Amino acid sequence: MSTSHIGDRPSAFDRAVAYVLDFDGDLYGRDERERTRWYEGIALAASAQWILVPWVAAIMIWSASAETARAIAGLGLAFILPMALATIYVEHRRVQTTVERWTAKRVLWSVITILPVAVFLAGFVRVGDLEPSTAWGIGAGALVGLALAVLGMSVRRKDRGRPDAGDDQ
């Protein structure tokens, strides 16, 4: 049995995911139970990295040279792209990704994951040997990005008519 429910006409994205996740192979275990444990372990590792790596970058940037700061920023971008891919994947599989209720735990984890981005940006502006207009642009871009993210979440919360994750068709 497989965790895949790709359907009759999989897209190129679905085929790539099926290849990487090896739904019908034994790369992640011999049966559904083992596969589920591997996927849980991978999710745990990703969750730890999504917290630790940004904090390490946010701390390291303050003692970096301008050249090193740009390299750390490049690595940060490479780090964020797979996070976006994960969100695209689960949304493609019709998993609800918007917050329905802000609990204390969700607020805490949001602060823990968003704060290092602000700390990193402040450090990058400080050590990055930037023109003042560029520094202001980074700050303005960060604020606009945050505002758009909040707006996007509030708009998407109104979209409750989507089928749930069990209705992959």
pLDDT in single tens digits along all 169 residues of the chain: 455 556 678 888 888 888 988 888 888 888 889 989 999 999 999 999 999 999 999 999 999 999 999 999 999 999 989 988 998 888 888 888 877 788 999 889 989 998 999 999 999 988 988 888 888 888 888 888 888 877 776 666 555 555 555 555 4
**What is the reported pLDDT for 154?**
67
Question: E strands, 35-136, where?
Answer: none
Query: How far is it, in rounded angstroms, from Cα 38 to Cα 125?
Result: 40
Query: How far is it, in rounded angstroms, from Cα 21 to Cα 13?
Result: 12
Q: Are 103 and 40 in contact (CB under 8 A)?
A: no
**What is the reported pLDDT for 51?**
94
Which pTM was predicted?
A: 0.73
Q: Are 130 and 61 in contact (CB under 8 A)?
A: no
**What is the reported pLDDT for 156?**
61
